[in-house]
Structures are given as structure tokens and as C-alpha cells.
């Protein structure tokens, strides 16, 4: 459904060239959910904005069913944008405070000419609100009159209004209270299954990503360090950085939490203007050797359908490489 080839986004600043995204490639099958995970500053949100052409790539291709989103212009780009939509992290900032919920959704339907006539659009607005678990009465409210979870449901309804095939979800629950995160996650899962949607789900929380994703991609300083099925990447990762993300998720059982071994990161995320030579992660990796300082590791298949950009995955995690945890599995 979606093919991303060597995607690059560089910014020129006074300090130098910022390599926000530096050669990212992946594919997403129709109906699949790809989780894109990494800490702040890794380039995942920049990647998301390029997928929907809110940002123009420096280079690379974004193929949506064979059509190149990255190079599209005019009417072609408008048509492609109807097929791939985005739900933003902050539901309040992404809604116009001067418009009611009904006007917000009606505007999308009118501009895209999806439904003709005011009465038909009003009916469709009510249908969209019901679809995301809200009543028709919400159409007359303004964003400030809604809770954070309700505002995000409106954002989801707005994305669904143009009947897209792919939705990019950029940290869709990180700004919400913990009590409503599960509700929104369950809503997203239901909509995906009922409507046959394809998701790119972006988050800094590996624990959150595993519950909805079929596969997980891990980014660091604009590059991809690991890619595989949700179970092996979250339970038996083959890159030290992914191990640190996994270990950052606490275990509910306090006795297990006290006894488990964790991979602890050292130092801070390097400056994207002056990234490290060799492996980007070597400045924080507890296993770094001389080779890591000089040679960039390829994103290679270390286990079945499980790729990692580490020189020493086989040596560091021999049991996980040998057993090869299932690469796919049902969504969690």
C-alpha cells in the first residue's frame, strides 16, 4: 500500500545542515499497522509530515499504491491527500477554536466535494460523530467545550471525513489523560478493522506501540535502527537502542521490576547538525567498539523478517537470533 524509499529531509541552519531524516525506507501492507517509535528528536514526526506532504522531502520517494506523493503537484497531490490523512498529537491546537465541531467537519466535506448539499453534509457530519463514539449534539460545540479525548475523537472524525485508505497517527494519545488513552486506542483499533484502514502509528512509547502494531520500526537520529514484527521487536529486540526503549517501560509486578536487568543509556541524544561518525548510536551504547566508531552498520536481516543496524547483534543476543521470535502475529 505504501512504499517509502530512501526518504531524506535536511534543513540548512546557521550552525550547519540538520539531518532530520536521513535515508529512511520501509513498506506498509494494505490493512497493516506499522508502529514508528523513537525518542524525541529522532525524526519520526518529520517522517509523518512528509508522508502527507505537509513537508516536502529533500529527496526520496513516497509511493501510495504506485503514485509518488513526494513529487505530486496540483490536482494530483489533492487527490492523493484524500487517500492519506493525519491525526495530530495535540487535538486542541489542530482544531480551529472559532469553528464548531459541525462546521469543522462540514468544511472538509464541502472543500473536498464529498457530499453535495447542506442537508446531506449535516447528515454525514452526524454519521462521522457517531462513528467515533460521539453524539450528534457535539456538532454544536466548540473545541474548548470538549475534553481532550473528545477533541481527539473529532480529529479522527475529520481525518475519516475524506474516506482515506491510510491514516498517519502522530502520537495520537500522548497529550491525553491516562484514563482516556485506552478508550482512544480501542477506538482506533475498531475503526481500522471495520473500515479496512492502514495505519502508521507514531509514538515514543514502545509499550504503547506494541498494542496496536503488526510491525515496529525504530528510529534514531533520522535513521532506522530496527524493523520487524511487533513481538520480536518488543520482546526480543536485536539492537541495544531498542533494548533501552523496552527497558524504559516499567513492569507492573514490583518484584519482577526489582530483579530484571535493564539496558541503561548513557549521555544525551547527539546534535543532528553534527552526528557521530560510524554508528549513530555508539556514543551512548554500552557495547560500542572501535568498529562502531568508524563503520556505519547496514540495516540487515539478522533473524527471520527481523532487521537491525548493529554490527554485533548475533554476538550480543545469540539466543534471540537463534530462536527467531515470530515475525508477525495478530495486532495487540
DSSP track, 264-302:
---S-PPPTTSPPSSSTTTTT-TT--HHHHH-PPP-EEE
pLDDT digit string, tens, across residues 190-249 = 999 999 999 999 999 898 898 899 999 999 999 999 999 999 999 999 999 999 998 887
Sequence-ordered strand ranges (E) for 160-261: 166-170, 198-203, 215-220, 223-229
Query: Other CB atoms closer than 10 Å to residue 217's CB: what's the count?
Result: 28
Taking each continuous run of H as one helix and of E as one strand, the counts in the chain are 13, 12
pLDDT at 325: 55
Element of type H or E holding 307? strand 306-308
First to last CA, the chain: 21
* Alpha carbons 24 and 219: distance in angstroms, whole number: 9
pLDDT digit string, tens, across residues 82-115 = 999 999 998 889 899 999 999 999 999 988 888 8
pLDDT at 114: 83
Within the chain, which residues score under 50 in pLDDT? 326-331
Which sequence spans correspond to the domains of the chain? 235-322
* Alpha carbons 151 and 175: distance in angstroms, whole number: 11
Picking from 250, 254, 154, the residue whose alpha carbon sits closest to that of residue 208 is 250
Predicted TM-score of the model (pTM): 0.91
Amino acid at each position: 500500500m505504501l512504499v517509502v524509499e530512501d526518504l531524506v529531509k535536511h534543513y540548512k541552519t546557521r550552525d550547519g545542515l540538520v539531518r532530520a531524516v536521513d535515508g529512511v525506507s520501509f513498506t506498509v501492507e494494505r490493512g497493516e499497522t506499522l508502529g514508528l517509535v523513537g525518542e524525541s528528536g529522532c525524526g519520526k514526526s518529520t517522517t509523518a509530515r512528509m508522508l502527507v506532504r505537509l513537508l516536502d522531502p529533500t529527496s526520496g520517494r513516497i509511493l501510495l499504491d504506485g503514485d509518488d506523493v513526494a513529487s505530486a503537484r496540483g490536482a494530483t497531490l489533492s487527490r492523493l491527500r484524500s487517500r492519506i490523512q493525519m491525526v495530530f498529537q495535540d487535538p486542541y491546537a489542530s482544531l480551529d477554536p472559532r469553528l464548531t465541531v459541525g462546521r469543522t467537519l462540514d468544511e472538509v466535506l464541502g472543500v473536498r466535494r464529498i457530499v453535495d448539499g447542506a442537508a446531506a453534509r449535516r447528515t454525514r457530519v452526524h454519521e462521522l460523530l457517531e462513528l467515533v463514539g460521539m453524539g450528534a449534539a457535539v456538532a454544536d460545540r466548540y473545541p474548548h467545550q470538549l475534553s481532550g479525548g473528545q477533541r481527539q475523537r473529532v480529529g479522527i472524525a475529520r481525518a475519516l471525513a475524506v474516506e482515506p485508505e491510510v491514516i498517519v497517527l502522530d502520537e495520537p494519545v500522548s497529550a491525553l489523560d491516562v484514563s482516556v488513552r485506552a478508550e482512544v486506542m480501542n477506538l482506533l483499533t475498531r475503526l481500522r478493522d471495520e473500515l479496512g484502514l492502514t495505519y502508521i502509528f507514531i509514538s515514543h512509547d514502545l509499550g504503547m506501540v506494541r498494542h496496536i502494531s503488526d510491525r515496529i520500526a525504530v528510529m534514531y537520529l533520522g535513521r532506522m535502527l530496527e524493523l520487524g514484527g511487533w513481538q520480536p521487536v518488543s520482546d526480543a529486540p536485536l539492537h541495544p537502542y531498542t533494548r533501552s526503549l523496552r527497558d524504559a517501560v516499567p513492569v507492573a509486578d514490583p518484584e519482577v521490576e526489582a530483579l530484571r536487568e535493564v539496558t541503561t543509556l548513557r549521555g544525551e541524544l547527539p546534535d543532528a547538525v553534527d552526528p557521530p561518525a560510524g554508528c549513530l548510536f555508539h556514543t551512548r551504547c554500552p557495547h560500542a567498539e572501535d568498529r562502531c566508531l568508524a563503520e556505519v552498520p547496514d540495516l540487515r536481516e539478522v533473524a527471520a523478517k527481523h532487521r537491525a543496524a548493529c554490527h554485533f547483534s548475533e554476538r550480543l543476543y545469540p539466543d534471540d537470533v537463534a530462536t527467531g521470535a515470530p515475525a508477525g502475529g495478530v495486532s495487540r
